[in-house]
């Protein structure tokens, strides 16, 4: 028999195509081996097909067999029935499907749950049935759920079909791929796919010279690695990653929670100190599934196993704990690596473990000696750092052990070590800690050295500002505690925190200095208490009260100033005048009647009431006028922007009368792109960020953000006027009391009209659905720069929204009752 297109369907079943009875037909034969003959196949069944079969494709997953005829027709062979038969290949809607042109290579695959026959023409067009997927394709192959193909642009693409539709596949093949795109790999010009090894990552390519080469496509490698990691096959994944130079962080990043739950399995599978050390030394804080190896579309993002903790620390601690429980002697070098690799290296703990190995050498064969452990540590850590940290263990044998392994000259370290050995133990540790700049530990050890070293304690505390730590080291009734408290108080006063300094001085028995601190910080209650504890003579107490009252008056704390003047300075008139100055009318009236000074009512209180009335009316009228002006301007600006937006839509391009300005603006945009972004970065990173934001909101007519500046100012006016409710209420009550009804009615009317006008304008200034966008402004008040800025704002809405937020609408406190019924 003359056969072609031989396929191995099952263990003992083959399919072949032979010539038909007519030149325009073909014969399909099913072959099986003869039991008695070793190398002989017999025909089990056959059938005639109308048309010349030029291609046969078989899917191992579904068992489907597809036939391609020379005219492009696609047939489906029903071979698992008692009798062979063929039928037309149909799509999901039931319509027959054919290739537009005959294809030289075919393969079956599943896309979005539907089976398609892929075909490649001699003109490098790839089809899925009658739909063209891409052009410029040299060869392709199907492996499991992946489509691999080589292109005329000298690349090898590998696409996962499970998450794609036909249109999605077309889009993916049309794209060039981006950075870290695992689906794309560059290959030699003219490379063609020979085969993809099943259940493996190897792809065999034939070069134009005829030689065969094997590559490992990154997409196949990562897919296989994910399968192994999901199946907890850590050894296979590790060996593959080490061989193909895949970042080992992926072992953890793929599924942090599962990895931490199976750390013991990971260690037992690797069962190699070198491999575990390699994994630990490659650990980094970055998530490789976000940066280097993005997850396939549709795969769930795995949460961090220990949120809020550093990844490197979590993994190092997990491996170290598990290795210590499994076999501490066997994994001693890896345990040292876990200590050293942490974000804050635990060098002292690692050195202590080396010291323990020296004191208690391992008895088991194959155990690591202290010499080997130290040599390994020196390989991981800079020798000078290790020497410094060995000093921090206060173990001179260990220090010498490290120093001897280093390149240090004994003349450098032996005199220093001998000097340390000659010191008293606590002072010795203090000297070491100070040398290592571990000042808190140094302070603890120095505090145990006795009274003769307290001067050094005080000096260290002042230099390193360790006041709080020092106070915890001494009893509260000790003289050292008092000295430290006074030093701490002086420091607080220098830091403009005199009240806290006064509290320290007061509790440690320094009332005079505490009084000075309280007076300078206007902490008048504490100052009066200390003054009476001293005690101060009456005349000095009165003088102190006047001094404090003056400070409080400057801070507009009139009620407190009046209390001091009345109760401690015994000056009721000054107290009443302070209250009148601050507009505390009812309290002023109380003191007037308590001290029987009704004369002040006529001489000071009533004139102050009328003056406050006039001041408030003038202020409210000015605020209303400013509010009205800004509101009217805001309406004009919004109308201009809306008109400019509509003009741009009508013109459909910069062919409008302002085209020349737009052109100039766009030129400036292009030219200043770098400088503007630089300016934005610097303003964000400076301490004056808020000030820079306010500068952008200019009320100058024609400025690009004039509308937002107007809204900001209008909001401030509303807030200011709304906060006057309590003040106006108190003034109205005082005016009515002294029969200034007409004046009070005017004030109530003016304030009520201002509140109603502003409340009614809130929805006009802040309409519902207000968006943070703006169109370019043109008009007589506009300049090229203003048009440029507003045009740029439209081109980059995200940036403009970040740079100039729409001010929020103010909330008015309508629940506060301030009106007087008797004035209605």
Give the tens place of pLDDT for each residue, 250-267: 999 999 999 999 999 999
Same structural domain, 650 and 782: yes
| 588 in any annotated domain | no
Same structural domain, 281 and 236: yes
Same structural domain, 446 and 381: no
In the chain, what percentage of residues exceed pLDDT 70?
A: 88
pLDDT at 268 over 90: yes
Strands (E), 201-277: 202-206, 212-216
Instruction: Between 697 and 449, name the one with better pLDDT.
Output: 449
Q: What is the pLDDT of residues 189-204, one digit of tens each?
A: 889 999 998 888 899 9
96 DSSP 8-state letter: B
| 746 in any annotated domain | yes
Same structural domain, 270 and 383: no
pLDDT at 725 over 90: yes
How many structural domains compose the chain? 5
> Residue 306's pLDDT is what?
67
Q: Which pLDDT band, with edges at 50, 70 and 90, does 738 fall under?
A: very high
Domain stops at, among 215, 246, 261: 215
pLDDT at 797 over 90: no
What's the whole-model pTM score?
0.65
> Residue 806's pLDDT is what?
83
Assess contact for 413 and 403: CB atoms under 8 A: yes
Tokens of 44: 């089990």
> Residue 382's pLDDT is what?
86
Instruction: Between 700 and 623, name the one with better pLDDT.
Output: 623
> Residue 798's pLDDT is what?
38
DSSP 312-367: HHHHHHHHHHHHHHHHTTTTHHHHHHHHHTSSS--HHHHHHHHHHHHHS---STTP
Same structural domain, 182 and 323: no
Same structural domain, 296 and 261: yes
Count Cα atoms within 13 angstroms, Cβ side, for 418.
6
Q: Which DSSP helix (H) or strand (E) runs through 114?
A: strand 114-120
Alpha-carbon 620 to chain mean position:
47
Q: Which pLDDT band, with edges at 50, 70 and 90, does 804 fall under?
A: low
Average pLDDT of the segment spanning 167-174 = 89
Average pLDDT of the segment spanning 423-438 = 93
Strand order across the beta sheet in which 155-160 lies: 137-143, 146-151, 155-160, 184-186
> Residue 515's pLDDT is what?
96
Calculate the average pLDDT of the chain. Answer: 86
Assess contact for 519 and 529: CB atoms under 8 A: no
Same structural domain, 264 and 381: no
| 702 in any annotated domain | yes
Q: What is the pLDDT of residues 144-163, one digit of tens each?
A: 888 999 999 999 999 988 87
Assess contact for 153 and 134: CB atoms under 8 A: no
Domain stops at, among 401, 422, 443: 422
Cα gap 292→241, rounded to integer Å:
14
Q: Which pLDDT band, with edges at 50, 70 and 90, does 305 fall under?
A: low
Nearest in space to 469 (alpha carbons), one of 502, 445, 499, 493: 445
Cα gap 315→266, rounded to integer Å:
12
Same structural domain, 280 and 172: no
CB-based contacts of 288: which residues, under 8 Å, 6+ apart? 247, 249, 250, 253
pLDDT at 186 over 80: yes
> Residue 174's pLDDT is what?
87
For residue 190, the domain's CATH number is: 2.130.10.10
Nearest in space to 162 (alpha carbons), one of 211, 112, 121: 112
Which of 323-337, 459-473, 592-606, 765-779 shows the lowest per-residue confidence on average (mean pLDDT)?
765-779
By residue range, what is the domain housing residue 742?
A: 608-671+696-803
pLDDT at 408 over 60: yes
| 759 in any annotated domain | yes
Tokens of 262: 């199976």
Count Cα atoms within 13 angstroms, Cβ side, for 294.
9
Q: Which pLDDT band, with edges at 50, 70 and 90, does 792 fall under?
A: very low
Same structural domain, 165 and 177: yes
| 791 in any annotated domain | yes
Highest mean predicted confidence (pLDDT) among 25-29, 112-116, 203-207: 203-207
Average pLDDT of the segment spanning 72-82 = 86
Which of 236-240, 326-330, 440-444, 697-701 shows the lowest per-residue confidence on average (mean pLDDT)?
697-701
> Residue 684's pLDDT is what?
45
Which of 276-280, 454-458, 636-640, 771-775 shows the lowest per-residue confidence on average (mean pLDDT)?
771-775
Nearest in space to 761 (alpha carbons), one of 717, 806, 726: 717
| 476 in any annotated domain | no
Same structural domain, 381 and 428: no
Residue whose pair of structure tokens reads 């937002």 in the numeric block: 708
Average pLDDT of the segment spanning 374-384 = 87
Which of 193-197, 270-274, 304-308 shows the lowest per-residue confidence on average (mean pLDDT)?
304-308
Instruction: Between 366 and 72, name the one with better pLDDT.
Output: 72
> Residue 550's pLDDT is what?
95
Domain stops at, among 441, 471, 501: 471
> Residue 606's pLDDT is what?
95
Same structural domain, 300 and 397: no
Which of 32-36, 175-179, 793-797 shows the lowest per-residue confidence on average (mean pLDDT)?
793-797
Q: What is the pLDDT of residues 774-785, one digit of tens each?
A: 444 444 444 444
CB-based contacts of 672: which residues, under 8 Å, 6+ apart? none
| 332 in any annotated domain | no
Same structural domain, 30 and 178: yes
> Residue 387's pLDDT is what?
87
| 741 in any annotated domain | yes
Q: 676-680 long-range contacts, Cβ below 8 Å, gap at least 24? A: 680/799, 680/803
């Amino acid at each position: 028999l003359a056969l072609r297109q031989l396929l191995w369907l099952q263990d003992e079943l083959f399919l072949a195509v032979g010539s038909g009875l007519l030149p325009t037909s073909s014969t399909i034969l099913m072959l099986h081996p003869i039991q008695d003959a070793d190398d002989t196949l017999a025909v089990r069944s056959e059938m005639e097909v109308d048309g010349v079969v030029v291609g046969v494709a078989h899917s191992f997953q579904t068992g489907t067999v597809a036939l391609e005829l020379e005219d492009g027709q696609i047939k489906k062979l029903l071979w698992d029935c008692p009798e062979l038969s063929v039928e037309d290949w149909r799509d999901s809607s039931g319509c027959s499907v054919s290739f537009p042109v005959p294809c030289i290579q075919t393969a079956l695959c599943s896309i979005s749950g539907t089976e398609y026959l892929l075909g490649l023409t001699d003109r490098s067009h790839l089809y899925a049935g009658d739909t063209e997927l891409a052009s410029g394709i040299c060869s392709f192959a199907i492996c499991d759920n992946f489509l691999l193909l080589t292109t005329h642009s000298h690349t090898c693409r590998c696409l996962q079909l499970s998450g794609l539709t036909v249109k999605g596949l077309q889009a993916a093949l049309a794209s060039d791929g981006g950075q870290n795109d695992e689906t794309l790999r560059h290959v030699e010009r003219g490379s063609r796919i020979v085969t993809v090894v099943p259940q493996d990552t190897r792809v065999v390519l034939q070069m134009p010279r005829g030689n065969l080469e094997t590559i490992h496509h990154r997409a196949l490698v990562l897919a296989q690695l994910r399968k192994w990691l999901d199946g907890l096959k850590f050894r296979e994944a590790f060996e593959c990653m080490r061989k193909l130079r895949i970042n080992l962080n992926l072992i953890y990043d793929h599924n942090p929670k599962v990895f931490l739950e199976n750390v013991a399995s990971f260690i037992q599978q690797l069962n190699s100190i070198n491999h575990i050390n390699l994994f630990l030394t490659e650990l980094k804080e970055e998530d490789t599934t976000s940066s280097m190896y993005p997850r396939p579309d549709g795969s769930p993002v795995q949460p961090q196993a220990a949120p809020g903790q550093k990844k490197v620390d979590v993994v190092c601690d997990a491996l170290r704990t598990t290795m210590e429980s499994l076999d501490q002697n066997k994994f001693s070098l890896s345990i040292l690596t876990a200590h050293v690799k942490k974000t804050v290296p635990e060098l002292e703990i690692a050195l202590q473990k080396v010291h323990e190995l020296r004191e208690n050498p391992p008895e088991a064969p194959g155990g690591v000696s202290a010499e080997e452990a130290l040599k390994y540590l020196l390989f991981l850590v800079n020798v000078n750092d290790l020497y410094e940290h060995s000093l921090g263990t206060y173990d001179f044998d260990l220090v010498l052990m490290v120093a001897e392994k280093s390149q240090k000259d004994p003349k450098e370290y032996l005199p220093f070590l001998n000097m340390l050995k000659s010191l008293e133990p606590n002072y010795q540790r203090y000297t070491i800690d100070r040398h290592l700049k571990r000042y808190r530990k140094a302070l603890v050890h120095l505090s145990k050295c006795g009274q003769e070293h307290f001067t050094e304690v005080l000096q260290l505390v002042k230099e390193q500002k360790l006041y709080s730590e020092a106070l915890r080291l001494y009893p509260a009734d000790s003289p050292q505690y008092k000295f430290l408290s006074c030093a701490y108080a002086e420091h607080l006063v220098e830091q403009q925190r005199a009240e806290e300094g006064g509290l320290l001085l007061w509790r440690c028995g320094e009332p005079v200095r505490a009084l000075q601190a309280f007076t300078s910080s206007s902490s008048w209650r504490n100052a009066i208490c200390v003054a009476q504890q001293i005690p101060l003579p009456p005349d000095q107490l009165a003088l102190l009260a006047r001094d404090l009252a003056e400070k409080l008056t400057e801070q507009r704390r009139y009620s407190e100033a009046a209390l001091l003047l009345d109760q401690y300075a015994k000056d009721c008139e000054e107290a009443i005048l302070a209250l009148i100055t601050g507009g505390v009318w009812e309290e002023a009236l109380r003191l007037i009647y308590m001290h029987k000074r009704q004369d002040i009512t006529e001489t000071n209180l009533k004139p102050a009431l009328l003056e406050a009335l006039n001041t408030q009316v003038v202020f409210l009228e000015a605020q209303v006028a400013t509010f009205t002006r800004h509101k009217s301007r805001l309406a004009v600006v919004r109308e201009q922007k809306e008109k400019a937006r509509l003009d741009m839509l009508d013109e459909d391009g910069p062919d409008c009368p302002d085209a020349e300005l737009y052109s100039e603006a766009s030129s400036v945009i292009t030219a200043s792109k770098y400088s503007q972004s630089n300016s934005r970065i610097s303003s964000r990173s400076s301490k004056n960020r808020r000030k820079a934001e306010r500068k952008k909101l200019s009320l100058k007519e024609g400025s690009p953000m004039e509308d937002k500046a107007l809204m900001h100012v209008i909001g401030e006016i509303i807030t200011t006027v709304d906060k006057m409710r309590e003040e106006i209420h108190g003034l109205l009550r005082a005016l009515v009391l002294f029969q200034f009804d007409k004046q009070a009615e005017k004030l109530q009317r003016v304030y009520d009209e201002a509140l109603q006008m502003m409340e009614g304008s809130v929805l006009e200034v802040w309409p519902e659905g207000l968006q943070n966008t703006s169109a370019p402004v043109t008009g007589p008040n506009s300049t090229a720069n203003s048009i440029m800025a507003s045009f740029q704002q439209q081109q980059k809405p995200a940036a403009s929204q970040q740079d100039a937020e729409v001010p929020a609408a103010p909330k008015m406190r309508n629940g506060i009752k301030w009106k007087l019924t008797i004035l209605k």
